[in-house]
């Protein structure tokens, strides 16, 4: 065919084609989720453990790959994040039961877990592998199917990681298609996945426009908002420890986590000592002209300069036109105000920390509140203090849903240096226009059906209740109707890949198997 004619009839990028591709993937995921819901808790956790082990084994490889592909971050730090979001994540939730019924002994209400079904998961370029690990394992622990949509800037490492986890899941006995991924990314295709009726919930981690698109898709969505965390250091704090925690946090993975400290707020009477401790710990406290140079480099008329995203402090200083010690971990930029007119009080996903000196505790609290009103509402804040009343007043004043005390905020708000739930999806709640204010986890990917009796009947003895049936993986069908013989039924069509779907004949055979199994259960009863 003439190339010009071929171009005229090419409809591969049309809305109809995009919709068809999305529907095929989601139909396969829906089938897998329905089969997965037959599994008991032991089999479910065995699959999660196998996938977590596979993820942990390749944490370093993918940490290095992510830095190489995206161009930002620190490989060793990404490796650590990848490790923490694999085996330790499953261990954290090991005692949570997302499979079996539970009973409220006070009311007698019985609750039966119901998985969401099909999860469409957006993965950002900032923490690609750790977020992918986190979302996949959260889905598996709750017997959900998941479709991964990587950020284009981290596409190759995410595709390889998703394939690794998918293979580990099926090898451990998970249904085919329980983990799928997009190998080609376009906004129209992602939009079709988000608005499809076959998508049960969207896990949106990424930029504000993408998260807003998820919320406007008409499907349930769990999204996050931007961070802009204030950190307040008062006169009762251990200043050496505070400086160390702040620098450990702000330099971690070159401050690519949205939980990092954005502006340090302190008081006149401790400012000089704190600055000295910051310098000793690896900070460069900028002179006024250097702060001006940073402001000009980091922000332009369209917002933050993405070239600085996840870059190290020495590189940023050089780009801004001044030099610092090669051992410098973060740049501290003094500012005279917090608000719209001061760009250094906006979110900065790089190791540059705004620095404001308040004349009283009350002013410090008000400035921390003002910072979050500027951006970052609902996200995170930190405080270094040994005065419990000040800590309480600060937590009550700032409009966030997690306040980290005497710990690094980057790791602490994400649950890796505190006892908060470990996560790579931070809920920003009502303040941040999000549907959840907690650290998002597997518990948010199920709902519970509640069985409630008339209150005058008294509490029900749970020991007399019926047991939830978990028949397990689908049995193999008899071969050609010959008793005693069986043949494997493929749940994967001949054409492989994340956009493939079972053929019409395969789907019909799979449906027949389900019906046959259900009939056998009925006849047994």
Q: pLDDT 10s digit of each residue in the chain, 525 long?
A: 555 555 555 566 778 888 999 999 999 999 999 999 999 999 999 999 999 999 999 999 999 999 999 999 999 999 999 999 999 999 999 999 999 999 888 888 999 999 999 999 999 999 999 999 999 999 999 999 999 999 999 999 999 999 999 999 999 999 999 999 999 999 999 999 999 999 999 999 877 788 888 988 989 999 888 899 999 999 999 999 999 999 999 999 999 999 999 999 999 999 999 999 999 999 999 999 999 999 999 998 888 999 999 999 999 999 999 999 999 999 999 999 999 999 999 999 999 999 999 999 999 999 999 999 999 999 999 999 999 999 999 999 999 999 999 999 999 999 999 999 999 999 999 999 888 999 999 999 999 999 998 887 755 666 667 678 899 998 865 554 444 333 333 333 334 444 444 455 555 555 556 555 555 555 555
Q: What's this model's pTM, rounded to 2 decimal places?
A: 0.88
Provide the token pair at 46: 């065995």
What residues act catalytically? 258
Query: Could you give the domains of the chain?
Result: 29-95+104-224+440-448 (3.40.605.10), 229-413 (3.40.309.10), 477-524 (no CATH)
Q: What is the DSSP string of 160-205?
A: HHHHHHHHHHHHTTPPTTSEEE-SS--HHHHHHHHH-TT--EEEE-
Read off the pLDDT of residues 402-439 as tens digits, 9 standing for 90 and up: 999 999 999 999 999 999 999 999 999 999 988 899 99
Bridge partners (DSSP) of residue 487 are: 477
For position 501, what pLDDT does the model report? Answer: 43
Q: For residues 338 and 356, is the Cβ–Cβ distance under 8 A? A: yes
Read off the pLDDT of residues 150-186 as tens digits, 9 standing for 90 and up: 999 999 999 999 999 999 999 999 999 999 999 999 9
- Rounded Cα distance between 137 and 85, Å, is 9
Exposed / middle / buried, residue 315 (Cβ in 10 Å: 0-12, 13-18, 19+): middle
For position 64, what pLDDT does the model report? Answer: 98
Bridge partners (DSSP) of residue 384 are: 233
- Rounded Cα distance between 461 and 109, Å, is 10
Pairing between β-strand 486-487 and β-strand 477-478 as defined by DSSP bridges: antiparallel
- Rounded Cα distance between 182 and 123, Å, is 11
């Amino acid at each position: 065919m003439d190339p010009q004619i071929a171009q005229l009839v090419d409809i591969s990028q049309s809305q109809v084609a995009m919709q068809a591709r999305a529907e095929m993937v989601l139909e396969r995921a829906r089938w897998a989720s329905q089969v997965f819901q037959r599994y008991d808790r032991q089999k479910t956790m065995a699959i999660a453990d196998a996938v977590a082990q596979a993820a942990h084994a390749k944490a370093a490889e993918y940490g290095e790959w992510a830095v190489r592909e995206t161009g930002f971050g620190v490989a060793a730090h990404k490796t650590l994040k990848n490790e923490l979001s694999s085996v330790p994540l499953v261990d954290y939730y090991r005692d949570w039961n997302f499979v079996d019924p539970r009973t409220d002994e006070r009311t007698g209400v019985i609750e039966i877990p119901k998985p969401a079904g099909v999860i469409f998961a957006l993965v950002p370029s900032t923490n690609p592998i750790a977020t992918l690990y986190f979302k996949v394992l959260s889905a598996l622990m709750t017997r959900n199917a998941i479709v991964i949509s990587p950020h284009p800037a981290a596409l190759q490492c995410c595709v390889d990681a998703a394939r690794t986890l998918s293979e580990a899941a099926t090898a451990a006995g998970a249904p085919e298609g329980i983990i799928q991924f997009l190998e080609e990314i376009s906004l129209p295709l992602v939009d079709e996945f988000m608005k499809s009726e076959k998508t049960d919930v969207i896990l949106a981690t990424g930029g504000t426009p993408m998260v807003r698109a998820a919320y406007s898709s008409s499907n349930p969505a769990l999204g996050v908002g931007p961070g802009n965390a204030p950190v307040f250091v008062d006169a009762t704090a251990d200043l050496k420890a505070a400086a160390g925690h702040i620098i450990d946090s702000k330099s971690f993975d070159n401050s690519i986590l949205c939980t990092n400290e954005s502006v340090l707020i302190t008081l006149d009477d401790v400012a000089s000592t704190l600055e000295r401790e910051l310098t000793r710990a690896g900070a460069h406290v900028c002179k006024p002209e250097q702060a001006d140079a940073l402001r000009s480099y980091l922000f332009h008329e369209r917002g933050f300069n993405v070239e600085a995203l996840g870059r190290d402090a020495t590189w940023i200083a050089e780009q801004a036109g001044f030099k610092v010690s090669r051992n410098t971990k973060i740049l501290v930029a003094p500012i005279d105000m917090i608000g719209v007119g001061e760009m250094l009080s906006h979110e900065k996903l790089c190791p540059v920390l705004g620095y404001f000196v308040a004349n009283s505790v009350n002013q410090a609290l008000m400035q921390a509140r003002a910072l979050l009103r500027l951006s970052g509402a609902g996200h995170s804040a930190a405080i270094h203090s040994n005065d419990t009343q000040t800590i309480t007043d600060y937590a009550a004043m700032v409009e966030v849903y997690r306040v980290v005390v005497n710990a690094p905020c980057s790791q602490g708000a994400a649950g890796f240096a505190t006892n908060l739930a470990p996560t790579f999806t931070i809920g920003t709640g009502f303040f941040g226009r999000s549907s959840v204010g907690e650290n998002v986890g597997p518990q948010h990917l199920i709902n519970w059906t509640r069985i409630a009796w008339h209150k005058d009947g008294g509490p029900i003895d749970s020991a007399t209740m019926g047991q939830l049936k978990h028949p397990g993986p689908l049995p193999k069908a008899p071969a050609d109707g010959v008793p005693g013989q069986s043949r494997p039924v493929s749940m994967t069509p001949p054409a492989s890949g994340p956009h493939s779907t079972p053929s019409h004949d395969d789907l019909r055979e799979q449906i027949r198997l389900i019906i046959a199994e259900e009939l056998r259960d009925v006849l047994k009863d």
